[in-house]
């Protein structure tokens, strides 16, 4: 299986190549790129079986690159890697035409197996996220919504907001939800934007006013 890697961090690229080198009989890295701009001609010239791409890139995001690649060639298979374990990013990836969405904590064997499934035409989703999406779908189908859904918050954003209301710091929230500090900050920024506030106090005020948490 021929794979092109796209990531704007050299250390990550080298790490992925070292990881995949252990599976030389199943996968071969035929090209790499450090930006969306560089990736387009590389993918066009090499026509790989799968493009393994980070969601975050310096210029256009991995989501933008995925959209451009799949619009240009509907047969192009793009597997996105991300640190974001939020179902909203998964939805965005699938809308962009991605054939899969995995978290960067994936093991080498899991990654190669996922690449093989993507090449075979399957859609691959990180197991943790898939379970959360299934639970959310069941709740929505039964008429149940998580706190904040009507304000546009994702389930994970609602969880973060609930912990903010409870007075937990970003570090404590990261520990409680088993996610990184930067992920908490990203969720917090999204919460502020969706609630139309600029700080924690404003977010707490809206949450209490709307009766989101009792």
Domains of the chain by residue range? 2-129, 145-209
Bridge partners of 4, per DSSP, are 31, 51
Phi, psi of 43 (to 5 degrees): -65, -40
> What average pLDDT does the chain have?
88
* pLDDT mean over 39-52: 96
pLDDT, position 139: 56
Residue 31 has pLDDT above 90, yes or no: yes
Residue 85 has pLDDT above 70, yes or no: yes
* pLDDT mean over 81-95: 80
pLDDT, position 170: 92
Q: What band does 11 get if pLDDT is binned at 50, 70 and 90?
A: very high
Helices (H) and strands (E) in the chain, counts: 10, 6
* More reliable by pLDDT, 5 or 214: 5
Residue 38 has pLDDT above 90, yes or no: yes
Summarised one tens digit per residue, pLDDT across range 15-26 is: 999 999 999 999
* More reliable by pLDDT, 73 or 210: 73
Residue 141 has pLDDT above 60, yes or no: no
Residue 142 has pLDDT above 60, yes or no: no
Terminal CA-to-CA distance of the chain, rounded, Å?
53
How large a percentage of the chain has pLDDT more than 90?
Answer: 53
pLDDT, position 112: 96
- For 145-209, CATH gives 1.10.10.10
Which of the listed CATH numbers 3.40.50.2300, 2.30.40.10, 3.65.10.10, 3.40.50.150 matches domain 2-129?
3.40.50.2300
DSSP 74: T
Residue 196 has pLDDT above 70, yes or no: yes
Report the C-alpha gap between 144 and 40 in whole angstroms: 43
Q: What band does 84 get if pLDDT is binned at 50, 70 and 90?
A: confident
């Amino acid at each position: 299986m021929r794979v092109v890697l796209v990531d704007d961090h050299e250390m990550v690229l080298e790490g992925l190549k070292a990881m995949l080198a252990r599976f030389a009989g199943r996968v071969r890295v035929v090209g790499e790129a450090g930006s969306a701009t560089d990736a387009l001609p590389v993918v066009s010239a090499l026509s790989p079986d799968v493009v393994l791409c980070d969601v975050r890139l310096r210029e256009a995001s991995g989501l933008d690159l995925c959209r451009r690649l799949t619009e240009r060639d509907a047969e192009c298979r793009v597997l996105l890697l991300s640190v974001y374990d939020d179902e909203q990013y998964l939805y965005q990836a699938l809308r962009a035409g991605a054939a899969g969405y995995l978290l960067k904590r994936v093991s080498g064997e899991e990654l190669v197996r996922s690449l093989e499934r993507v090449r075979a035409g399957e859609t691959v989703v990180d197991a943790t996220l898939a379970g959360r999406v299934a639970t959310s779908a069941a709740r929505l189908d039964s008429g149940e919504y998580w706190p904040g859904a009507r304000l546009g918050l994702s389930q994970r954003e609602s969880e973060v907001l609930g912990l903010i209301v409870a007075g937990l710091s970003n570090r404590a929230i990261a520990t409680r939800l088993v996610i990184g500090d930067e992920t908490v900050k990203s969720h917090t920024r999204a919460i502020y934007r969706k609630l139309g506030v600029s700080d924690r106090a404003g977010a707490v005020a809206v949450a209490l006013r709307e009766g989101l948490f009792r």
